[in-house]
Amino acid sequence: MAHNLAQCRVLVQKAVRAGAKALFLPEASDYIAASADETVRLVRGVHDSEFVLGLRDEARRARLPIHVGVHEPGCRDDGLRRVRNTVLWIDDGGDIAHRYQKIHLFDVDIKDGPVLKESNSVEPGAEILPPFDTPLGKVASTICFDLRFPEIAIALRRQGADIITYPSAFTVPTGKAHWEILLRARAIETQSYVIAAAQVGRHNEKRVSYGHSIIVDPWGVVLADLGDSGAAEPEIATAEIDHDLLRKVRTEMPLNRRTDVYPEV
């Protein structure tokens, strides 16, 4: 986790030099464990986590909001030892102003590929949170596997989202097949910007992440893609959030859903 915090500090410095108004980091930026037991053993609360405390200091020092995926201790009294997969918005004063807990857990068994069962160690969230005000516009949070469920994005757009985030650690097989397609689809069907900060490269013997951090505009155009190179030091991608484009797309092609014919999601 100390190494991961050091990597994030590099990204903060790069974001500041680029003139960014916020920094978006991937899912599980604090750590990716090799087993369910290790995932639970490593978890710390946000007030005790060296990683979160360090990022809060960075946000305060740089006056830069940070959107970051972390693990937090589970809170359900169900007899299971599990964690929460959450994303935090740390404001430019270093305070945690928003927290979303991942709703859809990644349980998958791919032939000749990874077998992952997130539900063995992760407690699912139970609510979609409304978009919140930021220097970039109204931001809405989801996490990784939530990407495969358009109902969330549509609900967030209906609540006023300008930007929908998908911090992720996609596997390589699913990333090659679906990553860009799904992100562009979510942007197009909600007429919103999509920001998807993604883990890249090998974490341990069991886990490799696809990479390709992407920013997509409301017309579905990919504005930035960091690829999967796994450079010597972490990289950032930047793009302008153009609110004139948002208004233009939504005005010229209004998506008037026929909720009289099919149920509203």
Euclidean distance between CA atoms 53 and 56, whole angstroms: 5
8 annotated active-site: no
Among residues 27, 58, 72, 118, which one is catalytic? 27
Residue 138 to residue 136: CA distance in whole angstroms:
7
Q: Rounded CA gap, 157 and 43, in Å?
A: 32
75 among known catalytic residues: no
Determine which one of 8, 58, 123, 144 is catalytic. 144
Q: Which residue out of 72, 102, 118, 123 is catalytically annotated? A: 102
Whether the CB-CB separation of 119 and 81 falls below 8 Å is answered with no
50 is an active site residue: no
Token pair listed for 257 = 């859903």
Q: Residue 196 is encoded by which pair of tokens?
A: 């998807």
- Residue 170 and residue 128: Cα distance in Å, rounded? 21
Residue numbers annotated as active site: 27, 102, 144
